[in-house]
Structure formats: C-alpha cells, structure tokens
Structure 1
Amino acid sequence: MKKNSSARKASQGEQASQPDQLLADVAFVQIEEMIITRKLPPGSMISESQLAAEMEMGRTPVREALQRLRQIGFVEMLPRRGTLVAGVDIRQQLELLEVRRPLEELVVRVAALRATPEEREHLRKLARQMITAAERGDMEAWIRTGGEIHDAEVHATHNSMLITSMLPIHAQSRRFWYYYIVQNRAYVEGAKLHSDVLTAIAEGDGERAVVAAQGLMQFIERFTRSALDTF
C-alpha cells in the first residue's frame, strides 16, 4: 500500500481523516496477523515507527490499531517503555471458553435463522475449504479459514452486539490455535466439527447447529486442557 497524503499528515500529528481511519483498519488486520503468526512473538516490544515504515503509512493509524489490539488483549502499553506483545495464557483460554460456549450457541442459532442465501452458500464454501486444508495438513490455510468462518458466522446473525462481543473472543482463540494446533495436529477432527456447524447453519437448522456447536466446544476444551497438561 502506497503512503498517501492523508497518512503523511497523520504522521505529523494532525487529526486523522477518513483515509487515515481506513489505514487504521488495514494496520489492525496486518498487525493482528503478525501477532497471531508469531512474526511479532510474545514478549517482544513493538516499534510504531518501524511498523509504519513496513506498512507504508503514518504512525497515527498504527497507533490507533495498537490501541484496538490492546482492547482485545494482544498487546500491553507499558509506561515509558512502549508496546509489548502479550503472552498466551492457557488457563485464561479455559476462562474464555466459559464465556464463549453460550455465546457460540446463540450465534449459530441466530445465524441459522437470519443468514441470507448468499451467506449460507459462503458458509458451505468455507466448510469445504477447511476440510481441504485439514486433509492437506495446511496449518496456515486451516487457521486462516477458521478466522473467515468466525467472521462469516457472526455476521450472519445480523446482530451488531454479537459481532462486537465475539471479536476479541475469536481473536484470542485464533492466536491460541495457531501455536498449539501444530503440537496436536488435530486438523481433521476440528475441520469436521466446524463443517457440521456450518452445514447446519446453511440448512437453517438452528437446533442441529447448537448441538454441533456444543460438540465443537467440547473438542476445543479437550484440546485446550491437553495443551495445559503438555506445557
């Protein structure tokens, strides 16, 4: 992405314009990906100026993106030191699952009811995509598709509060899975369970979607506990 005049003005400390807000969205996605894939590993310090240079934008959108990442627990702001990439806490993942389980059931039930025909077809496509990634043992594609599935499911609810609530939960889950899935190689089982949920939503069967989501959450909790025992 080329550095435009709006980004240059923001980097000089002027008030962010609409293009700067769009750049902040881009910066958020890119930095989040760097943290999830451990290109920015836990415990490392983040340089705003270096990230701005790498992404060819001003420091203002980068700073805003980091503030949003702080809100979902990806980074910590340390006084007089800078921005630190937060660690991954397995026990915190178990706490997260307590919150996530009932919300996931609500998401899939509402999505099965409200999804548009286009959204239902997209969910079917994502189910096939995840199965293919699992069969190939392609972790990168598996994790990326998982993120797309989360986004597609919550947006299919057409409920802005659910979308906002699930954003940090799913982000933390993706980060955990990226590191620990390679230890267990549970690609195929996870893909099948995700596929069951997506298929039920696509077919408009809310009750079956909830049952499938419960099975998926049981698998995730089992996987998380095994990671806790291992590490």
Structure 2
Amino acid sequence: MVRTRSRGETAGQRMADAPLADLTVLPPPDTRTPSLSDIAYYRVRDLIVTLQLEPGAALDERELMVQLALGRTPVREAVRRLAGEGLVEIFARRGTVVAPVQVRDLARVSEVRVPLEALAARLAVDRADASDRDAMVSLLSSLETGATSQRDLIRLDQRVHQQVYRATHNRYLQSTLAEYLTLSLRLWFLGLEQVQRLDDAVDEHRELLITVLEGNADAAEQTARAHVTGFWDEIRQVLAT
C-alpha cells in the first residue's frame, strides 16, 4: 500500500521518516526512530563538527530552520543540547555562536578521553556478549576491505569506537565517551588535510578489536591508550603550526 501524505504534513515530519545515514558524524548505533529534535541535533552537530559551520560563526536559527526543513522548537532544542556539550555558546546579547576551538581544549579533552578509552577497552573484554562479538567480527571485515575516502575512514573509526563503548554495557561510560569522541572529531577536521597517520589508525582499530575478541584485557587497554594518544600527539603538532 502506497502511503499518501496529508496537506498538513510538514517537511520536518517527512524528514523524520528519512534515515540519518548521510551524516559524517554518526548517531549512536541504537538510534532507530529519532524525534524531530534528535534529527535537528544530529544534523546541526554534523555541520559543526565537519566545519561546515566554522568555529566562532553565528548561528542563525531561521537559516537552520530553512536548511533543515524543521520547525523552531526542534532547532532550538538541538542548539541548547549542543550548548550543553560545548559545541555551541549562547550569549544574552551576542546571540548564539559555534564554540571556538581553543588550544587548551586539546589537552583537556585528551586528559579525559585517554584513560576512559583504556577503561572501555578493558571492560569490553570482560563484558562483550555474543552480539558484540559478531559486530566486532563484521567490523574487522570492513577494515580488511578498507575505506575508499577520508569520510569513509572517519565513519569507520566511529563505528569501531562505538562498538567498543557498547560492549562495556555501561551507559554512563558510553554516553561520556560518545561526547568526547565528537569533540575529538571536530579537532580532527581542523587538521584533516595535514594528518598523516590515517593508515596507522586502521591498523590500530584492527588490533583493538582483535585484542578484545581474544580476551586480552591488558593488550586491549594498552592498544586503546596508544591509539588515542597517537591521535592527540599528531593533532597537537598540526594545530600548533
């Protein structure tokens, strides 16, 4: 049966039926039926992280409504949510802007993310269930096939990290790491043209998944720590030039 749309159905409602598969910054893997506010949040977040909305740029609510084909309420809720995550800044007189990137942010994000990624890898070894393991085997196959573009590699990077987070079966840790991964991706895009270690990242993802599947908690923790530390070391050098 073909569904017909009523005259009162908005563009935003039609967007709710569409997947978020075209985003570079992936939603959580368990996102199945996002609300209009969720759609606005994930799409604005994608624009910010991929630098389509540059650091320090003013956010025009009406322009976002037109661009996303969504109403005022979901866009406003999305902006507030992004402000809580440090990607947007709201000022009483200046209005709303994309949060600028400060050099000191690099060290602060790093000092939190490195130990938490190591913890997640260790917990994943202890808690991964059959479904988690199947997903990791599938990701290993994707890594062997290889990414055809930087965007594909960035998406694959997120899928690996998201699966490790999920395997911890700790929703608090999973939520926290997802937020820090997003902040890290934004920094990655700032130095993307100069980053040289993309091939190394693929090897590190492969090693991380293998050590988790083999049940080697020490090796998994060490691999996760080295992977994130290596990323930060290169990004720090790129942003310092």
In the TM superposition, what are the counterparts of 1:1-231 in structure 2 within 5 Å?
A: 2-4=11-13, 22-130=35-143, 132-133=145-146, 136=148, 138-230=149-241
Structure 1 residue 117 displacement after superposition? 1.9
Q: Secondary structure at the match of 1:190?
A: helix
Structure 1 residue 89 displacement after superposition: 2.5
Secondary structure, aligned partner of 1:50: helix
TM-score by length of structure 2 reads 0.80
Q: What percentage of aligned pairs have identical amino acids?
A: 32
Name the counterpart of 1:14: none
CA distance, structure 2, for counterparts of residue 89 and residue 133 of structure 1: 33
Deviations 1:13-68 (A, max 9, x none): xxxxxxxx711111111111111111111121112222122222211111111111
Change beyond 3 A, Cα 1:116–1:31 = same
Provide the rounded CA distance (Å) in 2 between the counterparts of 1:142 and 1:172: 17
Q: 1:127 to 1:30 in 2, by over 3 A?
A: farther
Q: Unmatched 5+ residue regions in structure 1? A: 8-20
- List alignment gaps of at least 5 residues for structure 2: 1-9, 17-33
- Paired AA for residue 158 in structure 2: G
Note the alpha carbon deviations across 1:71-126, whole angstroms, 9 max, x for none.
11111102133210112223311221111111111111111221222222222333
- Considering fraction of residues, name the structure with more helix: 1
Letter in 2 for 1:99: V
Q: CA RMSD in A?
A: 2.4
The count of aligned residue pairs is 215
Are the equivalent residues in 2 in contact too, given 1:72–1:171 (CA < 8 A)? Answer: no
Residues 195 and 235 in structure 2, CA contact (< 8 A), matched pair in contact too: no
